[in-house]
Structure 1
Amino acid sequence: MTNQSYYQARELEEEWNEKMLAVAQESPVESGGFHILFDRSPDIFTIPKLTSYRYRCGGLFRKDEMLGYAIATFQKRYIYHQRLANVMYVGNMHVKEEGRGAGFFYRMSNFFFGGLDPDVEYFYAYIMENNEPALNLVNRRHPRFPDAPYAKKVGLISMVNILLTIPVRMSRKYTVRTATYDDIDPIVELLQEEYSIRFLAPEMNRDIFLRNLKQRPNFGIENYAVALTGNQIVGVCSCWDMTSFKKNRVLKYGVAFGMIRLLYNAGAPLLGIPSLPSPGEAFRDITIAEYAVKDREPAIMEALLRYAYNEFKRQEYHSIILGASVDDPLLSFTKNFYTKHVRSHVVLGSMQWEKLVEKENIPLIYADAVQI
């Protein structure tokens, strides 16, 4: 038997959902002493459907054993100067321990990149900052696998976890309230203005906004909060409980944070806050799915987050999660909260190296908290 027939890349349809979730369970992510399971049960295809106009899933098999899989989602994203382009996001990549070292990415390269529609200008992926094995593969092309794309690291993003502990004071400068349907036009205008300057931000217009309201599970106009000065809407963010299909489980806390968790839980009854979950249990998280503020003013962003913080603390959530580029001045507001930052490299790929030559240290890269 040849090595090529020993390993096979196969298309995975939705009937593979349960087996794919089992592979993910066997391959948690390790970061800073944490072992984290990004649990996408009950349906791993929910997020790809919500974030793309088309998706494709492939698995690597050794004989009849699935060693791992990845999902490619095809999207329209902003690139430069308010220009939209077709891109492919490669995510939800999970490889079982016995499949590591088998060259998963190379062996899947023909499946995902061979004969790809030339309209797809770029590929992108996120790799956690301390995932050295994966980072060492960036732009390591192999003559046996000519369909592997050129790639390079182009920036850093952070998933900011804001723990909900003691109440915080509301902004005195801005009024924040729940959005209504009458607010849609100014909300869309703010989001369009923000997204058009953000590398890899999604397409946004009124039709897409209304489609999101209709298609997203457990989501409606009431999930948006707006900040006002006088009668003018100057900021917006959406607050979405995605835990029915997107959960974060810490399987192992690590020594340092394990001690912090014990102290935190000891004081939780006195503070009237929920205890941090035991290993394997899911956090109750709120995801900031979109946000935009006039003139990118950090004080407006802080006003929105203070409102969301108090609202969801009352509902006994553990944390709020939002994504940001690490160079984003809007992150300055986080100094007023207890936060944990999980940073990832943004890897950009293309079949043509010349399209990547000048792409490095890209400012204000969009960090998509919905799909990560």
Structure 2
Amino acid sequence: MCQGNDNFTQQSPPIDGTMKPLKIAVVIPKYGLLGGAEGFASELTKRLAVRDEFDMHVFANRWKSGDEPIAFHHVPIIRFPRWLEPISFAWFVARLLEKWNFDVVHSHERIFAMDIFSFHGIPHLAWRRNVRRKAPGLFDLATAWVEKKGVTCHRLKKIMPVSSLVARELERLYNVPKGKIRLAYPGVSLERFDRYDRERCRMEIRAMHGFSGDDLVLLFVGMNFEIKRLDLVVRSIAELKQNGKTGKVPGLLVVGKGDAKKYSRLAENCGIGGLVKFAGEQQDVVPYYLACDALAMPSVYDTFGMVVLEAMAACLPVIISENVGAKDIVEPGIHGYVLPNDARPGNMAKVLTKLADTGKRTRMAAECRKRAERFSWERLADDLASLYLDIGLDKSGPTP
């Protein structure tokens, strides 16, 4: 069912051997450290750094470097008062970039001017008001000010949102022309999953948390239980048990940081305390993916949701909401199910009933892996290399 990565690699356009490599600036506050944007930037940058076409430079406040030929430049940040953080980072980046003549500036963070902007969230004020449901403070207003300057700057050639959800917000708030938007979904390291023994992971992880090999086990991975709607997952399992419409009520394995005591009490009050297990934060989540049967992430809002793609790479069908950006790559009924934003426990319980069918899960698992193989970091690096060459070779000089 889980086959190794057999992707072809599409070669970037060749660069003239007499021409110097394009000088590329990659901007991000934290490079190579924990986080979605941080991982996205480092996975692509390290792959491009070994290509002859590029001379890669990273501008960051903190970084974790590898063996790749990358030049790192420290960007100071003023931490207090807090509202100066986004402004100071953008200001120091601008001053540092003035000292170099870069062919392409690619930022993964809000700065004043760049050629390519990888947009990993939604516009900041939209997030604050619509998702967090809080009035903006000085930090939020400062962040939004820098963001607007970057998105509307004349130098910007491409803005790369991580999902259509983000693209729509950018179009709505900033009236960004469709021709300037280029969707750039995150990638996944398929080899991370292929080097493990699935059956051994299944046996050991399940035994560790009190599940048998025959149990149907649902996986939940997240650092914000409220936003990811862990309560909906717990209540849906409880409803399934109460209705008794299926002989196989799933267990739930929760990985991540959150208020475990609160949701343990919820599970107890719902009568399924013994079915919900909390594993806490895990440095390596891969064995947990391989030990489970499906992933649930019906978030209130998630700009993409890397765990969805990772679960698919591990051959897990997924259950997500319409407000999860990864729905762009999930075909309902083939790779899993997409719940309405206002889903109730009954909605999800019906989906869980379908996933109790072993044959259906097996077919979905194979399709999930096939879909995930389309999003290897190697393929994404090829696409980005082509964009760098298009922009870098087309520029006659720095744009003001």
TM value normalised by structure 1? 0.31
- Higher RCO (CA 8 Å, separation ≥ 6 residues): 1
Structure label with greater radius of gyration: 2
Greater strand fraction, Structure 1 or Structure 2:
1
TM-score, normalised to structure 2, is 0.30
